[in-house]
Amino acid sequence: MTDAGKAGEPTRIAPRSGAAFKLHDGQLLTVIDPEGQQVSDLLAYNAHDVREVLSSGRTLDYAETIRLTTGHSLYSNRSRVMFEIVHDTVGLHDFLLTPCSVATFEHFYPDKPVHRGCFGNLAEALAPYGISEDDIPIAFNCFMNVSVDGNTGGLRVLPPVSKAGDCLKLRARMDLIVGLTACSAYDSNGGSFRPIDYCISDG
């Protein structure tokens, strides 16, 4: 157990890869963009029943905004709080779009090499927990900059505004299995790929 408020040494997620881990009720997850302009897709499942899963629709409904930041909660499909956002140095994240995948690479980047994307990385990382591809919902895309035109409804994926060292801290409100990536898509990350760091602490 680490000291209250003091996170341990960060764990690094290499560029275009993913990880999964358990988080206990009350623990703090810090997602860090160590070099800047890098998106990290976050998923969460109830550790005791993985049919309970992060829900963009429930979260946006309760928050009454698509701009989720400090003070907002991330809800499950059963309307229960999975995470509270307790600190956010960026204030610009996405909860509309799904993890990039082979299909989205083929669609958006037909001239570039296909990558399994966050979807494939999350599926592999979550498989040991009995979670499969079809169980992957809309991710909470940390640092992802998606603009919505209020008049036309048009969506644009813009480079993240996060700078080196920016972070998002989320407190678990139930025992969770978490999936987390360093995103693999060109547009989401300003054209290149960097790592993501994360810490788990009890403080």
CB nearer to a second copy: pick between 91 and 203: 91
Query: Could you count the other beta carbons within 10 Å of the beta carbon of residue 89?
Result: 15
CB of 127 to a second copy, least distance (A): 15
CB of 171 to a second copy, least distance (A): 21
CB of 120 to a second copy, least distance (A): 12
What's the token pair of residue 140? 């909470």
CB of 190 to a second copy, least distance (A): 18
Residue ranges binding a second copy (CB under 8 A) = 51-53, 55-58, 60-67, 77-79, 96-98, 101, 103-104, 107, 133-134, 136-139, 147-156
Q: What is the CA 110 to chain-centroid distance, rounded?
A: 25
> Three-class SS of residue 90?
coil
Query: Could you count the other beta carbons within 10 Å of the beta carbon of residue 150?
Result: 7
Q: Which of 39, 41, 34, 32 is nearest to 122 (CA)?
A: 41
CB nearer to a second copy: pick between 91 and 165: 91
